[in-house]
Amino acid sequence: MSVPSRSRSSRRTTFAVLAAGSGVFSLLQSLIAPALPTVQHAMHTSQTTVTWVMTAYLLSASVFTPILGRVGDLLGKKRTLVAALLTVLAGCLLAALAPNIGVLIVARVIQGMGGALFPLSFGIIRDEFDASRVSSAISNLSAVIAAGSGLGMVLAGPTVAALDYHWLFWLPVIVVAVTVVLAVRHIPESTRRAEGSVHWLGAGLLSAWLVALLLPLSQAGSWGWGSARVLGLLAAAAILFALWLIAEARAAHPLIDLRIMRLPAVWTTNTVALLFGAGMFALWSFLPAFTQTPAVAGYGFGAGVTGAGLLMLPMLVAMFFSGVLSGRLAPVFSAKAQLVTGSALAAAAGGLLTVLHAQAWQVALAAGIFGLGIGLAFASMATLIVHSVPATQTGAATGMNANIRTIGGSLGAAVTGLLVTAHLQPTGLPQESGYTHGFALLTVLCLAAALMALLIPSARTVLRRRDAGSPDGSRTPRETAGAAAG
């Protein structure tokens, strides 16, 4: 089906609305993390309980991202996008007014449902933009998403210091409210719809195995890796995952089409997402803690929340500009090449941190190099998935890619946490060797991601396997022409 060409101003408005919604959601992923000690003190709760502010959000986003991405493919991406924005708005408003930790955790669950904004936004771009502009628009949106995640770590300290932690949610309330109005007025409803209905058994099993997997990974530090809860949930996750595969394979209209997941360009890209996500979240989780360690420990800089955020600023700037540049380079520097390069840059940054982390400038330099890698990798992974699946599967496929990156992130953060806390000083602070081993791990993970990215089929190979009239409907003639450029 041919997509009607839209005016440049209309495309810009659509992109601005999508960027605002996705950017705020990615900001919420990291904005609250540096302020958890403040929230713990203000709400008179324990450290174990306050970590559920992050865990609840992670679980909710993981469950709802692919499910609502599929709902958007079926019922319409605009209406699902608006519903997701309203959910984020409600969650932020409830969090800003939360009188206790229980209400705040519920609010974070509601916010996490907005994870569908990512796949829905990519799907709307694919549906509404000219094929020649899809790659650059996806790259720009990926840059916004990546930068939003980093920006949260930078803004948290100054926001709490100047106002209080409630404003970590009041400010998103304002932005999301405006975005909802603009989305209703300016986002067109796509005429492309997938056939069938939501496979609720598949959705239920997907939710169950994701929760059973991610919950013990996020709580193993307090529950203990050998505890019955952790081992039991991991065993349940394996069983539920097998049941989900069987249910999806037998369904007439599966939630996640496993045939699409088996496409060479999709499974290789998803494997890279798993490995890269593990390395990326390992760095995001522990580099700020490293910089905040008092110098009396023999390492670290004793930085506060604001100071730690400023040391992450080079990463934020680099990931935004490399993400934006990714789309411009697409005609001469393919998405596959960009993913290999981005993963290699991240590995180089990890290697640098492993051997050089005694000075603040060394950490800032490594963070900047890592940011370049994140920007290229985020943009290229999204581009590869979007151009490799049928238009009617865009939401579900990109949602699963984001989910797989999150699963990798949970694994990476959990294993890095084990390494960092394996040997403690008498003061209770980790030994420097723990962080060195953690940095070495993220180096290996990102290097493995680069090697796996080499296995992704080239655009020419994909086009040889599928012509414009392929039975699965993966491409229209316009999209085939656009994909060849990427």
Identify which has the larger pLDDT, 64 or 189. 64
Query: DSSP string covering 16-49, please?
Result: HHHHHHHHHHHHHHHHSGGGHHHHHHHTT--HHH
Q: What pairs with residue 424 in β-bridges?
A: 430
pTM for the full predicted model: 0.81
- pLDDT for res 460: 61
Triad 46, 286, 236: Cα angle to 5°: 65
Six-digit token string for 275: 């490995």
**Which residues, at least 6 apart from 398, have a Cβ–Cβ distance to it below 8 Å?**
69, 118, 119, 122, 123, 382, 385, 386
- pLDDT for res 477: 39
pLDDT tier, 466 (very low <50, low <70, confident <90, very high otherwise): low
pLDDT tier, 170 (very low <50, low <70, confident <90, very high otherwise): very high
Residue written as token pair 């982390």: 357
- pLDDT for res 482: 43
Mean pLDDT of 410-414: 82
pLDDT tier, 469 (very low <50, low <70, confident <90, very high otherwise): very low
Q: What is the pLDDT of residues 178-209, one digit of tens each?
A: 999 999 998 887 777 777 777 889 889 988 99
Express as a percent the part of the chain with pLDDT over 90: 33
Q: Round to whole Å and give the CA distance between 11 and 19.
A: 12
Q: At 300, which helix (H) or strand (E)? A: none
Triad 108, 111, 117: Cα angle to 5°: 150
Q: What is the pLDDT of residues 68-102, one digit of tens each?
A: 888 888 888 899 999 999 999 999 999 999 999 99
pLDDT tier, 459 (very low <50, low <70, confident <90, very high otherwise): low
Mean pLDDT of 394-400: 80
- pLDDT for res 242: 95
Triad 283, 61, 130: Cα angle to 5°: 90
- pLDDT for res 355: 94
Q: Round to whole Å and give the CA distance between 208 and 242.
A: 12
pLDDT tier, 430 (very low <50, low <70, confident <90, very high otherwise): confident
Lowest pLDDT segment from 335-339, 366-370, 472-476: 472-476
Identify which has the larger pLDDT, 201 or 256. 201
Helix, strand or coil, per DSSP, at residue 424: strand
pLDDT tier, 106 (very low <50, low <70, confident <90, very high otherwise): very high
CB-count exposure of residue 35 (10 Å: 0-12, 13-18, 19+): buried
Q: Round to whole Å and give the CA distance between 341 and 449.
A: 10
Q: Which of 31-35, 360-364, 466-470 has maximum average pLDDT?
A: 360-364
Q: What is the pLDDT of residues 132-159, one digit of tens each?
A: 788 888 888 888 888 887 788 788 888 8
Is pLDDT of 344 > 60?
Answer: yes
Helix, strand or coil, per DSSP, at residue 276: helix
Q: Round to whole Å and give the CA distance between 349 and 371.
A: 9
Residue 161: count other Cβ atoms within 10 Å of its Cβ.
12
- pLDDT for res 104: 94
Q: What is the pLDDT of residues 269-313, one digit of tens each?
A: 999 999 998 898 888 878 888 888 888 888 989 888 788 888 888
Query: What is the second-level CATH architecture of the domain 8-189+255-485?
Result: Up-down Bundle (1.20)
Helix, strand or coil, per DSSP, at residue 247: helix
**Which residues, at least 6 apart from 257, have a Cβ–Cβ distance to it below 8 Å?**
248, 393, 396
CB-count exposure of residue 469 (10 Å: 0-12, 13-18, 19+): exposed
Helix, strand or coil, per DSSP, at residue 74: helix
CA atoms within 13 A on the CB side of 113: 18
Average model confidence (pLDDT) for the chain? Answer: 84
Answer for the pair 116, 80: CB distance below 8 angstroms, yes or no: yes
- pLDDT for res 260: 86
Q: Round to whole Å and give the CA distance between 17 and 387.
A: 22
Long-range contacts of residues 435-439, Cβ cutoff 8 Å, at least 24 apart: 435/286, 435/290, 435/299, 435/357, 436/354, 436/357, 438/282, 438/286, 439/350, 439/353, 439/354, 439/357
Query: Torsion angle, CA of 93/94/97/101, rounded to 10 degrees?
Result: -140
Identify which has the larger pLDDT, 41 or 355. 355
Six-digit token string for 406: 């999150």
- Domain extents for the chain? 8-189+255-485, 199-254
Mean pLDDT of 257-273: 90
pLDDT tier, 221 (very low <50, low <70, confident <90, very high otherwise): confident
SS (H, E, C) 248-267: HHHCCCCCCCHHHHCCHHHH
Q: Round to whole Å and give the CA distance between 66 and 120.
A: 10
Phi, psi of 330 (to 5 degrees): -50, -40
**Which residues, at least 6 apart from 221, have a Cβ–Cβ distance to it below 8 Å?**
414, 417, 421
